[in-house]
Chain A
Amino acid sequence: MRNRSVAVTKGMAIVAACVWLGATTIAGQAPGYRAPRGKDGHPNLNGIWQAVNEANWDLEGHGAAPGPFWQLGAEFSIPPGLGVVEGGPIPYKPEALQKKKANFANRMNLDPEIKCYLPGVPRAMYMPYPFQIVASTEYIMMAFEYAGTVRTVYMKKQQAPADSWMGWSNGRWEGETLVIDTTDFNDLSWLDRAGNYHSEALHVVERITATGPDHLNYEATIEDPNVFTRPWKISMPLYRRMEKNAQVLEYKCVEFAEDVLYGALRKVPLK
């Protein structure tokens, strides 16, 4: 009896510890962590960061699946992922869910990533490549490896001149957190390779908070009344690239996509 109760107590302690650890990691808000400050007094988020998850394959949880070309075998098969959507499936309107499914079915023709198009927001943030944050007082630049994508976050609010792939990002500090409000999107980018999509009414609010010297917590609330029944949220850690010589390299992919885009118009067809 005694042994048992000890075991139970120990077990409970372990469970409690797990819950406690889980709370810190999952919430990403390590209580009390205060990021180093830049000379302007704001948290210093500069560095080279990268998501380490399967969100670019599918924001939602998914099992492993074969890729589109049998010749590639295990390479470019779809790796499993727990998903980054909080609180259940993405709340599509019924007709929008049909479009999402059609997108996936026809992804070889439709996924903008295949064509080396700009990834949009939030997709740029969790493509499986590094990006660098370079912050001045007035502007926070994000330079992404994929397709040479770049985002400028305006810390002094400015209005968008027109719609665009990456939208227009205005930022502000809320204590430890960089809050970025992005609007004025076109309706052409996708959210992942699974066909999750949005309309030009997309409104993304991102919250980026350092949870330690080498980790950021990234959250994005996605709102689009044309496509979703309610706003929904994704969250994930972003990890600092720790290599001593880490740098964002050039990954210009237009050349690699040219025969996808124009191969059918060659004088001599591709074999």
Chain B
Amino acid sequence: MKHRVLISLGMTALAVATTVVLLAPVPVAAQAQKPAAAAPAAQSAPAAKPAAKKAWTVARTPDGAPDLQGYWTNNSYTPLERPDGVTKEFYTLPELRAVEKKNAEREQEETTPGTVADVHYDFTQFGLDRGQTRLTDNLRTSVITNPENGKLPPVTEEGKKRAADRAAARRKQGATYDQVQNIVLGSRCVYMNAAPPMMPPGYNPAYQIVQSPGYVTILTEMLHETRVIPTDGRPHAPSNIRSWLGDSKGHWEGDTLVVETTNFNDKVAFRGASENVKVTERFTRLSDDAIRYEFTVDDPSTWERAWTGEMPFVKINGPIFEHACNEGNYGIANTLAGVRKEEKRAAEEAAKKAGAK
């Protein structure tokens, strides 16, 4: 029911609907556990680490840097945190397929032919349904690899207080549709996960990496976000310059691109992080087809210790197309107009009732 309402809000709101599905991995994963009975005892290696390819060596750009270029996706159903009830680190391939199937079916259920939501928008079109595009086949049961239980470390007292303060500040702004500023960021085309750690957005996770001497540029299709990352080890911008994507500075460690990002604004708040969070990413080309993406989130004011995640990026066909989100955001205007109309109607009815007395 909740999903239906969101779908009726229009295209951008669909990102939210998808996110809602993403953020509710518990029942899905619990079901995915069922075929575990058929899983072989031997744990298969994660798809992201094809250790068998010995002869492969990383290609180089004309100026000699490891070549990470191409079109990539991190499209997957892997949740950040390991679902409750799942105790192992990796699924077997049949188990993963079962998880993917369940999720794909669930996403396709979002549109029922003949309903208002369906007339308004067909969820299975335009790549909004992740099951129709390439998945990374990440066998991990969670993106988080450390702590080993696949869960976020305990939140500090300061982190809890901040979360409560943020929630209180948000409540002060009124109900979700009182004003555009109360609506979730993705629907407003303000922010959709392009900042590190680069978790897949709700739909359409497509990236292009382009390299020139001294720079690695990551273009995220959603919101046409571009991270131009210098790789010469230069220092961060002054700490008073804050932004949604933060300030990314990189260097090469062997054939691995290491990018350290700081200077986030207070509004990104990834999983409750403070603006002083530091994210360190490591990009390693594993084959023509895959990049291993590892990240560490370090924010002692929020979590009792730093935590680490890992996911693969795999190749897709280009090109990346312009995602003019704000420019076509009819969803916000229509939703707010609809809510104002409802309020007006309710007020008129109340006045009528009062008059009748």
A-side residues, CB < 8 A to B, are: 38-40, 46, 112, 115-118, 132, 134-139, 141, 143, 148-150, 152, 154, 158, 161-162, 164-166, 188, 245, 247-250, 252, 254-255, 257-259, 261-262, 265-268
Contacts and interface: CB of A to CB of B under 8 A. Distances in A.
* List of 6 A-B pairs having minimum Cβ-Cβ separation, nearest first: A39-B62, A265-B336, A250-B243, A267-B178, A164-B322, A262-B180
Given A150-B219, A266-B179, 11 more contacts: A38-B62, A115-B327, A117-B324, A139-B208, A152-B319, A162-B321, A164-B322, A249-B241, A265-B337, A266-B180, A267-B178
Given A164-B322, A259-B180, A254 B188 contact: yes
B160 to A, nearest CB: 27
Given A188-B327, A249-B241, A254 B226 contact: no
Given A116-B326, A262-B332, A266-B179, A143 B321 contact: no
Most buried by A among B61, B174, B322, B324: B322
B327 A136 contact: no
Contact of B324 (A118, A255, A257, A265): A118
24 contacts: A39-B63, A39-B213, A115-B327, A117-B327, A134-B210, A135-B212, A137-B62, A143-B228, A148-B225, A150-B219, A152-B320, A154-B319, A162-B321, A164-B322, A249-B241, A254-B188, A254-B189, A258-B180, A259-B180, A261-B329, A262-B180, A265-B337, A266-B178, A268-B178
A132 B228 contact: yes
A70 to B, nearest CB: 27
Contacts of B228: 132, 134, 143, 247-248
A156 to B, nearest CB: 11
B189 A149 contact: no
Contacts of A164: 321-322, 324
A258 B226 CA distance: 22
Contacts of A265: 180, 333, 336-337, 340
A59 to B, nearest CB: 22
A249 B237 contact: yes
Contact of B326 (A38, A249, A254, A259): A254
A6 B126 CA distance: 77
B340 A118 contact: no
B119 interface: no
Contact of B61 (A132, A136, A152): A136
B108 interface: no
Interface in B230-244: 230, 234, 237, 241, 243-244
Contacts of B211: 134, 136
A38 B213 CA distance: 9
A250 B225 CA distance: 10
B180 A165 contact: no
B121 interface: no
Interface residues of B, number: 50
Interface in B206-225: 208, 210-213, 215, 217, 219, 223-225
Contacts of A267: 174-175, 177-179, 339-340, 343
Most buried by B among A115, A161, A255: A255
A134 B212 contact: yes
A203 B217 CA distance: 28
A143 B226 contact: yes
B69 interface: yes
A141 B327 contact: no
B190 interface: yes
A162 B321 CA distance: 9
Contacts of A262: 179-180, 332-333, 336
A41 B54 CA distance: 33
Contacts of A162: 321
A173 to B, nearest CB: 15
A232 to B, nearest CB: 26
Nearest to B327: A117
Interface in B313-331: 319-322, 324, 326-327, 329
B245 interface: yes
B181 interface: yes
Contacts of B217: 134, 141, 143
A271 B63 CA distance: 57
Contacts of B213: 38-39, 46
A164 B62 CA distance: 32
Contacts of B63: 38-39
A141 B340 contact: no
Most buried by A among B177, B224, B337: B224
Contacts of A137: 62
A165 B212 contact: no
